Structures are given as structure tokens and as C-alpha cells.
């Protein structure tokens, strides 16, 4: 895959939350068509990294650079990052009372396509993607995430990804809280989305999602840094042996 | 017109007090006496903590050379079109109780439905008017209710006979003049047994400018829902930003009757409104939706009352407030359940969305629950839009401004769903205007 172009690149990203540095220099290249996984114990900074990259107001990127298809994104507000092709599936998606799933997605897709765009295919598109993720059609008229179970919220995050079809998708703990059937459905959605032109960065604590979505590269995050990288076999080793051996090998501790 | 800051007395010999038959003139006189002898409520007393009572003390005004806003004619035309196309059953325009016009009432009349000035109803429906007028809104409520009780010119009377359904709304527009503008609107509604009515009661007009008290409105609404009746009452405050406005609404509903009250407020400089429903018979149900959207220096002071005087009754309040700029809202919601009123359910929620720093909201739940056998909950929230909710929408490509608009529209959507079709576009338009230049 080395002939492919770099899609997404992070250069020495530092992130602070409430004046505390939680990501301490992360560099990463994702080429078109690749799936990367960042694994790490709780508190290692992996969710902070993905939230900061999407422009979450509580996370400040204090230094470093981030490029999507060659465009620097850190100066952009979150909506512009999204329209440039970045997507984050949130770990804890918020409820938005009064705004239906369909209206929300229509507004988002319209924002991506532009105010003059033809939206006549929207209903069909939404129906198709909902069916593919085994989401009941009645969810289209329900308020976004309002009263949804954990698994329903995760499915609807993947639905949003399918409809918006981003270039680069960050999936933050998308597997957490899913039973095995939901995990299969959600990973099926991720695999269907994935193609030779887009990239995926999975952020996860556990290996089990990686049984269904095969990563090309696995990175271990500890103490706010990527301390080890390898192929899919690294994930299996972490599953068997936990993170202790990485801590010993690198001399770092998990907590930031 | 207005001379505030002193306790102005209503003189004994004025034309308003001479209107109507003897019994009515007596009630007007006793209202006048009560007004004159009741001191202005003290600032800080219950229900006056947030609004200066002096603001509502005015001279009775003078109707000469009244000019009406251009917007009034536009809205009148819009509603006449709705009448023509069958979205409305009837339209009534009420200019300060001095000129009241009725449109589309003939067809209703064929089914026994009366829509007429009170001055006519005192003859044609004498028993109903004498029995119900002043029954729920009178000097016993307070000084400013006594003021309306003495000074109203002519009012609107609506009667739906037993078993009759008025399936499209009757729409009332009460327009306050731009000049010499003081009005005391009055409304009496009787919905007969198993009858059904939707009524829209719209208050508009007033002086231009932003100085509170340049024009003045003090309204009284009494609605009686007899056994098994179903009533929807929608009130819309869209008076000018120079208008001081007072409104007392009371409804009484009997066994098995339901009442839906939708109180929408966007206008006025200082607006004090009091909505109350008394549940008098088992199976009676009342739902009150409130929605106000304040901007600039607008000041709103709202009260709601659900009084369960009978057991096995149910009430529910959903009062929503959106504020921006330096607008202020105070909401006081009282649930009263009488000692003998067993097995009642009462719910109350007041949610306040503050769109910027500088606006202010107060919420005061009051419970007088005098027996143990009740189910009652109340709740209140108050705060800015959750920035993480905005972030969530933005992360999907939606611009900040549009994200805020969508969240506010979502906040009010359950309430706006209750708005009758003929008003929906106009209300959405106002909501969207209010969200500009945030």
C-alpha cells in the first residue's frame, strides 16, 4: 500500500485539558485505504486525542499539526473539519431533544453538499443505510439519541458516518457497550464504509472489535504517547498479556 | 396618556360604568370601588417580587384619533384568507373593545354557536352572561382585575351549545392602537356539555419605541368548560416593545372535561400574565403549555395555577422560556390540591434556555398539596445551550449559527406542535427572527 497517498497526518500533537497535558506529542500517518487502531488502557489519552482532533471545546491542541488530504485542519472550526472530510464517532453521543434523526442528518448532509444541492435522494439514502445497520425505520422520526440505549446510539453514530461518507473516520470506543450481535452489525457497517479512498482510526481499549474490523496497523498509547506500533498481531498480544509488558518495555506508565 | 407612580382613582361618573343592564352596572361599580379602595400591591409581596406593580397603574385613557399599526392590517388579511380557505371557523377583530367586528359567524350561528359582543349577549344569552361573567376574574383576584372589571368597554362572548363541535379555530385579534393606547379586553367563553372548541386569542399592537408604558393593555379571560367538553385555548402576546401588558386568565372545567391552554408570548415591554385552571369534577384534565421568547430588554412575569378542587383530576404544565440579550423572565407555578381532592395527578415543568450572558430567568415552583393521596412532580432547569450539543451538530458539518437555531427549534418543537395550523407559519417566522444575529 506504500504507493498510496497520505490521507491524514498528525505531527507532534500535544493536547491539554484544563491546563493538564494529556497528549504529549503524537505523530501518525494514515494512507488512503488503511485502518489504524490506537489501543491503550483507560486514561492513556486516546479519547482526548480524537476529541481534540474534532475540535471539542474542552480540549486544546497546544502544539503540533494535523493535515487531512494535505489541508491543515487545526485552524478550522469543527463544522469546517467535518465538511473537509473528518468524522468522529463519539464515545458518548449526546441527546438532542426536539431534533429528529432524519432532520439532523438532512441538515448535516445539506451542509456537506452545499445550500443549492439536490436533496431528493435523501430519503432513499437514509432508508437504505438504516436498513443496512438494522435500525428500525421509526428511528428516523425519533429525537436524536433521546432515550436511545447505548447500542442504539453507537449504531446511529455509524449511520451518520455512512450517510456523510467522510474521508477520514475516527471511531472512539465504538465497540463499548455493545452486545455481540450489535458488535457484528456495527463492524459490518464500518467494513461496508471502508474503501481504498478513505481511512479509519479505531480508538479502543479492547481487542474484540479488531476481530471484525481488521486493522493494518496497531499503535499502543501510554501516558499520552504512541509508544509502540505493529501489525494486527500486536493487538492479540495485548489481549493476552494486557498492557503491563509494554509499560515495562518502554519504562512508561499508562496514566498521563 | 398614562400618569404612573401614584394611585390613580377611577372616577364615579364615566361612560364605561354606565354600560349594560342594571346588574352589570352594579358589578362595574363594585369593581371600581374595590379598585379604588385596594392599595397598590407592595413590591416584594407574593407574585410581585419580580415586577413593579406601579407599572400597571394608568389613567383610563382616551380613544380619540386612534391609529393602528400597518402590521395589524397584514395579519388581519392573512387570517381572513385562512377564514376563506376554511382553516378558521370565524374571525373577530377587537379594537380596544370599542369596535368589534365579526367574520364568518353566520354558519356557526346556524348550529347555535354564539360569537358576539358581550353587550349583545347580555340580552340574547342573559342567563349565561349573568351567571359566568366576573365568576372567575373579578376584584377578588386583585386590584388590576378590579380595574379591568370596571373599565372594560365591550367584550367578546362565545358560547358553544351542548354536544356541538367547532372543529376549526375561532380566532380573535385584539389590537391596541399606536396612539392613545389603553385597552381593557374582556372575554367570556362557555363550552357546553360534550361540546368542543378551539380558540385563538391574539393580543397585538401598541405604541412604537422601546419605552415601557407608552401603551397599556389589561385583559381578562374567563372560560367555562362544562361536563365532558374539550377546549383548546391559545393565547398569543405579540404587542409592541413599548407596551405594558397584564392578563388574567381563569378557566373552570367540570367532570370529564379537558382543557388545553397554550400560552405563547413574544411581545410587550413588561408583560405580566396569569393563567389558571380550576378542575372541578372527577376526570377533568388540564394541560398548559407555555412558550415565551424574550429579546432586548423585555420583561416577562408569568404565573400558572392548577387548582384541583375535585379528586381524580389530572393537570400538567410544560412552560418553556427562551431568552436572549437582556431579557428577563420570572415564572411562578402553583399547584393547589384541596384536602378532599383525592387521587389527583399534577405535573409541572419549567425549562429556561438562556442564549447569552445578560439575560436572566427565575423559576419558583409552589405546591399547596393538602392531602396525601396524590401523584405530583415538578422540575425546573435553567441555563445556556449545552456547548457540547452545539459541538455535536458542528462535528457533522452544521455551522455554529445553524446548530444553535436547530437546538432552540428542538427545545420548542413539542410546544409548537400544539399550535393550530393557521398560526404555525407566523409563529415559526417569529421564532426564526428571534434567532437572528445571536
List pLDDT tens digits, range A68-91: 999 999 999 999 999 999 999 999
Residue pointed to by grid coordinates 407555578: B333
Residue pair A193/A226 in contact (Cβ under 8 Å)? The answer is no
Long-range contacts of B22-31, Cβ-Cβ distance < 8 Å, separation of 24 or more: B23/B130, B24/B122, B24/B133, B27/B133, B27/B134, B27/B138, B27/B149, B28/B149, B28/B150, B29/B150, B30/B139, B31/B134, B31/B138, B31/B139, B31/B146, B31/B147, B31/B148, B31/B149, B31/B150
Question: Cα separation of B181 and B189, whole Å?
Answer: 25
Question: Cα separation of B204 and B199, whole Å?
Answer: 16
In a domain, A136, yes or no: no
Question: Cα separation of B437 and B435, whole Å?
Answer: 7
A247 Cβ contact partners less than 8 Å away, ≥ 6 residues apart = A222, A253, A254
Q: What does the pLDDT read at residue A247?
A: 83
- What average pLDDT does range A30-48 have in this prediction? 95
In a domain, B349, yes or no: no
| Total number of domains in chain B | 2
- Shortest distance between the Cα of A254 and any Cα of chain B, in A, equals 27
Write the pLDDT tens digit of every residue in B252-263. 999 999 999 999
In a domain, A138, yes or no: no
A94 vs B389: CB contact, 8 Å cut-off? yes
Residue pair B435/B266 in contact (Cβ under 8 Å)? The answer is no
> Does the CB of A146 have a partner CB in chain B at under 8 Å?
no
Q: What does the pLDDT read at residue B435?
A: 86
Contact list in B for residue A79 (CB cut-off 8 A) is 394-400, 403
In a domain, B369, yes or no: no
In a domain, A228, yes or no: yes
B397 vs A160: CB contact, 8 Å cut-off? no
In a domain, B377, yes or no: no
pLDDT of A227 higher than 80: yes
A55 vs B392: CB contact, 8 Å cut-off? no
Residue pointed to by grid coordinates 471545546: A57
In a domain, A82, yes or no: yes
Q: What does the pLDDT read at residue A96?
A: 96
- What average pLDDT does range A221-244 have in this prediction? 91
Q: What does the pLDDT read at residue B5?
A: 47
Residue A255 banded pLDDT, cuts 50, 70, 90: low
Q: What does the pLDDT read at residue A95?
A: 97
The CA-based diameter of chain A, rounded to the nearest angstrom, is 57
Of A94, A107, A112, the CB nearest to B388: A94
In a domain, B333, yes or no: no
Of A56, A57, A82, the CB nearest to B397: A82
In a domain, A101, yes or no: no
Write the pLDDT tens digit of every residue in B339-351. 999 999 999 999 9
Q: Look up the CATH number of the domain holding residue A90.
A: 3.40.50.300
Domain end marker among B280, B302, B328: B280
- In chain A, the residue whose alpha carbon lies closest to the alpha carbon of B401 is A79
3-state helix, strand, coil in chain A (%, to 5): 35, 30, 35
Residue pair B124/B116 in contact (Cβ under 8 Å)? The answer is yes
Percent of all residues in chain B with a pLDDT value above 70, rounded to a whole number: 96
- What average pLDDT does range A27-31 have in this prediction? 97
Contact list in B for residue A78 (CB cut-off 8 A) is 391, 394-395
| ipTM reported for the complex surpasses 0.90 | yes
Same domain, yes or no, for B402 and B275?
no
Write the pLDDT tens digit of every residue in A170-184. 999 999 889 999 999
In a domain, A142, yes or no: no
Domain end marker among B235, B255, B280: B280
In a domain, B345, yes or no: no
Residue pair A247/A254 in contact (Cβ under 8 Å)? The answer is yes
pLDDT of B235 higher than 60: yes
> Could you tell me the CA-to-CA distances from B434 to A30, B71, B204 in Å, in that order?
45, 17, 17
Residue A108 corresponds to which cell in the numbers above?
Answer: 448535516
B396 vs A164: CB contact, 8 Å cut-off? yes
In a domain, B362, yes or no: no
B11 Cβ contact partners less than 8 Å away, ≥ 6 residues apart = none
Of B389, B391, B398, the CB nearest to A111: B398
- What average pLDDT does range B238-253 have in this prediction? 96
Contact list in B for residue A108 (CB cut-off 8 A) is 393, 396-398
- Shortest distance between the Cα of B292 and any Cα of chain A, in A, equals 17
- What average pLDDT does range B82-90 have in this prediction? 96
Contact list in A for residue B392 (CB cut-off 8 A) is 90, 93-94, 96
Domain end marker among B262, B280, B298: B280
> Does the CB of B393 have a partner CB in chain A at under 8 Å?
yes
- Shortest distance between the Cα of A238 and any Cα of chain B, in A, equals 32
Burial of residue B299, with CB atoms counted within 10 A of its CB: 0-12 exposed, 13-18 middle, 19 or more buried: buried
Q: What does the pLDDT read at residue B2?
A: 42
Write the pLDDT tens digit of every residue in B43-63. 888 889 999 998 898 877 665
- Chain-centroid distance, C-alpha B432: 22
In a domain, A109, yes or no: no
Write the pLDDT tens digit of every residue in B380-391. 999 999 999 999
Same domain, yes or no, for B393 and B270?
no
In a domain, B52, yes or no: yes
Q: What does the pLDDT read at residue B60?
A: 72
- What average pLDDT does range B77-87 have in this prediction? 95
- Shortest distance between the Cα of B263 and any Cα of chain A, in A, equals 19
Instruction: Give the residue numbers spanning the domain of A79.
Output: 6-96+168-250
Residue B144's H or E segment, with its range, is helix B143-151
Residue B102's H or E segment, with its range, is strand B99-103
- In chain A, the residue whose alpha carbon lies closest to the alpha carbon of B400 is A79
A56 vs B391: CB contact, 8 Å cut-off? yes
Q: What does the pLDDT read at residue B41?
A: 92
Instruction: Give the residue numbers spanning the domain of B391.
Output: 386-438
Residue A245 banded pLDDT, cuts 50, 70, 90: confident
Same domain, yes or no, for B195 and B70?
yes
Question: Cα separation of B301 and B306, whole Å?
Answer: 17
Which of B395, B398, B412, B414 is most worth mutating to test chain A (most A CB atoms within 10 A of its CB)? B395
Q: What does the pLDDT read at residue B3?
A: 43
Write the pLDDT tens digit of every residue in B136-181. 999 999 999 999 999 999 999 999 999 999 999 999 999 998 876 8
pLDDT of B65 higher than 80: no
| Total number of domains in chain A | 1
A56 vs B396: CB contact, 8 Å cut-off? no
In a domain, B164, yes or no: yes
Amino acid at each position: 500500500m506504500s504507493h498510496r497517498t497520505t490521507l491524514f497526518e498528525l505531527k507532534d500533537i500535544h493536547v491539554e485539558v484544563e491546563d493538564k497535558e494529556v497528549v504529549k506529542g503524537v505523530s501518525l500517518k494514515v494512507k488512503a485505504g488503511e485502518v489504524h487502531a490506537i489501543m491503550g488502557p483507560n486514561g492513556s489519552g486516546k479519547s482526548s486525542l480524537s476529541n481534540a482532533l474534532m475540535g471539542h471545546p474542552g480540549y486544546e491542541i497546544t502544539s503540533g499539526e494535523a493535515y487531512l488530504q494535505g489541508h491543515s485542519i487545526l485552524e478550522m472550526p469543527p463544522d469546517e473539519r467535518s465538511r473537509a472530510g473528518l468524522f468522529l464517532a463519539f464515545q458518548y453521543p449526546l441527546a438532542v431533544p426536539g431534533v429528529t434523526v432524519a432532520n439532523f442528518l438532512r441538515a448535516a448532509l445539506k451542509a456537506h453538499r452545499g445550500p443549492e444541492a439536490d436533496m431528493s435522494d435523501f430519503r432513499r439514502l437514509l432508508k437504505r443505510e438504516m436498513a443496512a445497520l438494522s435500525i428500525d425505520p421509526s428511528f428516523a422520526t425519533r429525537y436524536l439519541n433521546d432515550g436511545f440505549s447505548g447500542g442504539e446510539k453507537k449504531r446511529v453514530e455509524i449511520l451518520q458516518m455512512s450517510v456523510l461518507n467522510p474521508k477520514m473516520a475516527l471511531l472512539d470506543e465504538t465497540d463499548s457497550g455493545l452486545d455481540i450481535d450489535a458488535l457484528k452489525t456495527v463492524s459490518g457497517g464500518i467494513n461496508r464504509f471502508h474503501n481504498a479512498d478513505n481511512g479509519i482510526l479505531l480508538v479502543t481499549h479492547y481487542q474484540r472489535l479488531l476481530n471484525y474490523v481488521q486493522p493494518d496497523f496497531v499503535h499502543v498509547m501510554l501516558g499520552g504517547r504512541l509508544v509502540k506500533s505493529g501489525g494486527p498481531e500486536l493487538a492479540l498480544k495485548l489481549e493476552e498479556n494486557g498492557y503491563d509488558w509494554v509499560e515495562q518495555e518502554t519504562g512508561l506508565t499508562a496514566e498521563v | 396618556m398614562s400618569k404612573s407612580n401614584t394611585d390613580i382613582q377611577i372616577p364615579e361618573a364615566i361612560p364605561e360604568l354606565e354600560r349594560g343592564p342594571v346588574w352589570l352596572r352594579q358589578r362595574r361599580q363594585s369593581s371600581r370601588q374595590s379598585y379604588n379602595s385596594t392599595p397598590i400591591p407592595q413590591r416584594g409581596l407574593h407574585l410581585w417580587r419580580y415586577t413593579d406593580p406601579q407599572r400597571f397603574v394608568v389613567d383610563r385613557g382616551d380613544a380619540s384619533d386612534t391609529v393602528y399599526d400597518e402590521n395589524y392590517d397584514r395579519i388581519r388579511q392573512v387570517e381572513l384568507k385562512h377564514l376563506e380557505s376554511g382553516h378558521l371557523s370565524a374571525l373577530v377583530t377587537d379594537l380596544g373593545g370599542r369596535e368589534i367586528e365579526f367574520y364568518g359567524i353566520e354558519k356557526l350561528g346556524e348550529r347555535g354557536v354564539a360569537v358576539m359582543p358581550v353587550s349583545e349577549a347580555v340580552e340574547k344569552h342573559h342567563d349565561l352572561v349573568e351567571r359566568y361573567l366576573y365568576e372567575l376574574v373579578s376584584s377578588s383576584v386583585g386590584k388590576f382585575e378590579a380595574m379591568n372589571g370596571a373599565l372594560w368597554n365591550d367584550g367578546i362572548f362565545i358560547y358553544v351549545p351542548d354536544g356541538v363541535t367547532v372543529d376549526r379555530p375561532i380566532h380573535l385579534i385584539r389590537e391596541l392602537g399606536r396612539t392613545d393606547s389603553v385597552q381593557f379586553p374582556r372575554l367570556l367563553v362557555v363550552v357546553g356539555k360534550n361540546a368542543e372548541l378551539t380558540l385563538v386569542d391574539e393580543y397585538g399592537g401598541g405604541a412604537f419605541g422601546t419605552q415601557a408604558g407608552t401603551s397599556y393593555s389589561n385583559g381578562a379571560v374567563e372560560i367555562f368548560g362544562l361536563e365532558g367538553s374539550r377546549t383548546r385555548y391559545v393565547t398569543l402576546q405579540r404587542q409592541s416593545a413599548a407596551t405594558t401588558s397584564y392578563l388574567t386568565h381563569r378557566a373552570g372545567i367540570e367532570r370529564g372535561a379537558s382543557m388545553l391552554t397554550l400560552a405563547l408570548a413574544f411581545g410587550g415591554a413588561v408583560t405580566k400574565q396569569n393563567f389558571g385552571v380550576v378542575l372541578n369534577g372527577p376526570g377533568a384534565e388540564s394541560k398548559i403549555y407555555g412558550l415565551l421568547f424574550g429579546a432586548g430588554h423585555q420583561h416577562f412575569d408569568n404565573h400558572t395555577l392548577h387548582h384541583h378542587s375535585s379528586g381524580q383530576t389530572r393537570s400538567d404544565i410544560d412552560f418553556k422560556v427562551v431568552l436572549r440579550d437582556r431579557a428577563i423572565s420570572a415564572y411562578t407555578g402553583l399547584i393547589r390540591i384541596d384536602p378532599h381532592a383525592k387521587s389527583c395527578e399534577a405535573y409541572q415543568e419549567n425549562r429556561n434556555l438562556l442564549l447569552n450572558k445578560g439575560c436572566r430567568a427565575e423559576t419558583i415552583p409552589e405546591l399547596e398539596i393538602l392531602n396525601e393521596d396524590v401523584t405530583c412532580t415538578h422540575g425546573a432547569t435553567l441555563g445556556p445551550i449545552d456547548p457540547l450539543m452545539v459541538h455535536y451538530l458542528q462535528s457533522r458539518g452544521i455551522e455554529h449559527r445553524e446548530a444553535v437555531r436547530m437546538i432552540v427549534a428542538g427545545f420548542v418543537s413539542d410546544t409548537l406542535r400544539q399550535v393550530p395550523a393557521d398560526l404555525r407559519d407566523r409563529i415559526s417566522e417569529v421564532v426564526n427572527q428571534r434567532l437572528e444575529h445571536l
